[in-house]
Structure 1
Amino acid sequence: MAIDSWLLKQHQSGHPPALRFYTWSPPAISLGYHQHKYPEHWQHLVWQGEKVDLVRRPTGGRAVLHQGDLTYAVVTSDVTSGIVGSRVQVYQKICEFLIQGWRSLGIELQYGTAGRGYIHNPNCFGTATGADLILPDGTKLIGSAQLRRGGAILQHGSMRLHPSAELFTQVFGTESFSPVHFPQNLDIEKIIAALIAAAEDCFGMELKVQPISESEWEAILS
């Protein structure tokens, strides 16, 4: 996520918008920027012999377990994308490519509605807001968070693909886990390809793969 923050700074200085996808190794729990209360045992979790990292996002929201998920990040601005409006309207404008991409894979998504337990639930996937995307059965598939710096926008989020019920229960308890069922032939490469095609269509741009250089890595790590 340090790369996400760096991409936002790059965009503020005139670089083009960016879209990236990534997974996590080892697993980690990302805390929202303002989330200061969380169970103490999260600091001592071990999964398959590896310590579960505890990291803080540059964006707000509640805790997300990154294991068996795919994370996306969009860096853009109201000038380059023409995205204007309230925070939820901006969320939903950016989320159009997620809805269209998943629809091309045969999976329909819709926006959630925050329940009464939203404020007190430390688990991002425990409830859904108008910025989150849920399946027809109400299961939350994508939770997103956003950071704005002037006219520049970072929106990133987690897509639950194949989370471990055992680890999820260790982190959030037995009431939190609800499995997501996908077609058997749906792998992560197909998902990313569909989302890239949808992003090019929704945002009217051609995306180019741009590896991070050695000097850029040094800037990110510093």
Structure 2
Amino acid sequence: MTAPAGEWRLIREEARPGPTQMALDEVAAETASGGGPATVRTYRWDPTCLTLGYGQDPETVDWDACERAGVDVTRRRTGGGGIVHDSYGDVAYSIAVPAGDVPGDLLDAYHLLCEPILDAFARLGIDADYVEEAVPELYHPACYLRELHPAHDVVAAGRKVAGNAQYRTRDAVIQHGSLSFSVDAAAHLDAFADPPVDPETFRERVVGIDELADVDRAEAVAALEASLASWVEAGIEAEAEREGGPGDGPSDEGGSLDRDGSWTDAELERARDLVAERYRDDGWVRSRPGDR
């Protein structure tokens, strides 16, 4: 499989607060479904942020510990458990694309949109792939300690190195995820209320890129951005060849990729509105869907 053809933009790593990053993922989906370009992007969390899964119980969070440590807390639109994203240890990405351009089957859609993620690990010299069979959970509220699922959990050297999640609107699909560059197990666990897992056990489940390859964080980000761009361009070239027909050469109708893409002023304004309305709103962050 290759990326769907069309108009795309690559937005390179930007450091922003977590609520803004979640809002921008939503904005990218709105743009893709509204006739604008599809988006592949990398991003960085600044400051450290705990993102809760859509239906996660807020009582699983140690709110006082997060406040003392200066950890932002927001809630994703994707499911699963909480993840602590720090500015150094976490490399984040998202892909926003029209729903009609990707498979309707969830597993097929994951495998399509995870292609550039697996390729990024290969570029770094890391043998990473989906976990072969389910691994039992250690602590349900923490995403990295939940059951490992062959559909979307990526492991290397027997430990989880990346997680990916999707949500769909009627007209768009957004997939986002985290590649672990460096693991700070104690900081991760400190954000949760009384987790029955110690840092040593956490590290037995989760591994960082820095333990697997002799690369710095900037090199890891560059590999991910290169992989996202190549994935998109391969899909565009494949479509152009189909449109051109045998012997006719590629046509110019397969689409294009802006490798130095950016947000419009209108998108940034929309993101600010979503931050206020949702991603920093206590009614969204501190309550489960049925309680809102």
Asked if TM exceeds 0.5, the reply is yes
Q: Which moved more, 1:4-13 or 1:71-80?
A: 71-80
Partner of 2:37: 16
State the Cα distance separating 1:53 from its structure 2 match. Answer: 1.4
Please give the alpha-carbon distance, in whole angstroms, between the structure 2 residues aligned to 1:95 and 1:183: 20
Could you tell me which of 212, 215, 230 is aligned with 1:182? Answer: 212
SS at match of 2:45: coil
Give the 3 Å change call, closer, same or farther, for CA 40–110 of structure 1 in structure 2: closer
Contact 1:64–1:123 (CA under 8 A) maintained in structure 2: yes
State the one-letter code of the partner of 1:187.
D
The number of equivalent residue pairs is 215
Matched, 1:35 2:56: yes
Could you tell me which of 267, 272, 277 is aligned with 1:221? Answer: 272
Q: Percent identity?
A: 26
Partner of 1:166: 186
Give the 3 Å change call, closer, same or farther, for CA 220–58 of structure 1 in structure 2: same
Please give the alpha-carbon distance, in whole angstroms, between the structure 2 residues aligned to 1:201 and 1:182: 23
Q: Which runs of 4+ in 1 moved over 4 A?
A: none
Larger Rg: 2
- Structure 2, unaligned runs of 5 or more: 1-21, 237-256, 274-292
Could you tell me which of 143, 147, 172 is aligned with 2:163? Answer: 143
Give the 3 Å change call, closer, same or farther, for CA 14–88 of structure 1 in structure 2: same
Matched, 1:117 2:137: yes
Please give the alpha-carbon distance, in whole angstroms, between the structure 1 residues aligned to 2:58 and 2:66: 20
**Residue deviations 1:147-205, cap 9 Å, x none?**
11124110001111113233123235413234431333x12332232223322333324
- Structure 1, unaligned runs of 5 or more: none
State the one-letter code of the partner of 2:162.
I
* TM-score under structure 1 length normalisation: 0.86
Give the 3 Å change call, closer, same or farther, for CA 163–219 of structure 1 in structure 2: same
* TM-score under structure 2 length normalisation: 0.67
How well do the aligned residues superpose, as a CA RMSD in angstroms? 2.2
Which of structures 1 and 2 has the larger relative contact order (alpha carbons within 8 angstroms, sep 6+)? 2
Matched, 1:90 2:109: yes
Contact 1:169–1:177 (CA under 8 A) maintained in structure 2: no
